[in-house]
Amino acid sequence: MKLPAPKYIILALITPLIVFLDQLTKIMVIDRFRLGETIPIVLGYFNFTYIRNTGAAFGILSQADPSFRIPFFVIIPVVALLVIGYIFKRIEDRDFKLSCSLSLVIGGAVGNLIDRLRLGYVIDFLDFHWSYQYHFPAFNIADSAICVGVAVLVLDLVFQDDHPRESHHASSVV
């Protein structure tokens, strides 16, 4: 019996783990918090705050008409997952970095898509701020996985070695 390529093993480990952790933490928030409730974790910097995000990242399009917003936020992630799946299929079997980063993005996209299909919005609860004056938009485990996965992809592109390595053969100089 032939084992699956390493990239598929990575996908099979990381993606369900992200979906599980994302959904578990969201269930815990729903069970333990009232909507809008905040519990300080690190005073002046970090809270758990139960928020329902009807928009995209950072609440973008949250005020759009629901007849547009709801189908848009279901169709776009499905198309993105199909494109990422196509890209994933084409990467080298042993490309650990790309396999991990794409698996993180897929897991995060699936986690948030589950919320949208099940609830019509995404549950956010990680609330970072500076002395309660400057708030970073609340987010969740799925958002974190997507951001880390995309960051790894971007860093890989930025620091990618475009030049083939020179041969280390000794050359004689005359």
Tens-place pLDDT, residues 58-113: 667 777 777 787 788 889 999 999 999 999 999 999 999 999 999 999 999 999 99
Could you tell me the pLDDT band of residue 170, with boundaries at 50, 70 and 90? Answer: very low
According to the model, what pLDDT value does residue 173 have? 46
Give the distance, in angstroms, between the CA of residue 158 and the centroid of all CA atoms in the same chain.
Answer: 20
Give the rounded percent of residues in the chain with a pLDDT score beyond 70: 90
Is the pTM here over 0.75, yes or no? Answer: yes
Mean pLDDT along residues 135-147: 93
Domain ranges in the chain? 6-155
Mean pLDDT along residues 131-139: 85
| Residues with active-site annotation | 124, 143
User: What residues contact 36, with CB distance under 8 A and at least 6 apart?
Assistant: 49, 50, 51
